[in-house]
Amino acid sequence: GVTMDTVKVIADSIGIQGLPDEACREMGDEITFRLRTLAQNAQKFMFHGRRNKLLPEDIDHALKVQGQEPLYGFRAIEHLPFRSSSGGGRELHFLEDKELDLNELINAQLPKIPMTPSIRAHWLAI
C-alpha cells in the first residue's frame, strides 16, 4: 500500500508542511483503497473485453464508472523503457530522454512556412 512516508513526501512536494503521522496513515490507507478499487474495476473491463493485457482505456472506463474524469493523452502501443536509479534511501523510475545538441538545433535549416489556409466546397459536404 501507500506508506506514511510516501504521503509525507507528496505533501511536502505540493507545499503542505508538518502533516501529522495519524493523518498521513489514514490518507495512505484511503489512497490504497481507492487505487485497489480502480485496479479491480479496470480488471473487470479487461476480462469483459476478453483480453489478458490491461490497457489505458480500461483505466479510463474504470475512472468513468467511479465518476472521475478519465486520463487524457496517454496511449502507448509499445513498452515504455523505464530506467531505475536509487540513492539516499529512495528509488526513482524515469524515462531516459536522448540528449540533443543545441548547436545542431540552432544551426539547422528552418522548416518551410505552411501555405495559407483555404476553404473549398465539395458537393457531398454542403
CB 4 within 8 A of CB 24: yes
The CA distance from 31 to 111, in Å, is: 48
The SS3 assignment for 117 reads coil
* Cα distance between the two ends of the chain: 58
Task: Compute CA distances 41 → 19, 29, 34, 64, 74, whole Å.
Answer: 31, 18, 11, 10, 19
Global model pTM greater than 0.85: no
pLDDT score, position 46: 94
pLDDT score, position 63: 92
pLDDT score, position 47: 94
Reply yes or no on whether the pLDDT at 126 is more than 60.
Answer: no
pLDDT tens-digit series, residues 25-65:
999 999 999 999 999 999 999 999 999 999 888 999 999 99
DSSP, res 116: P
Mean pLDDT of 89-103: 81
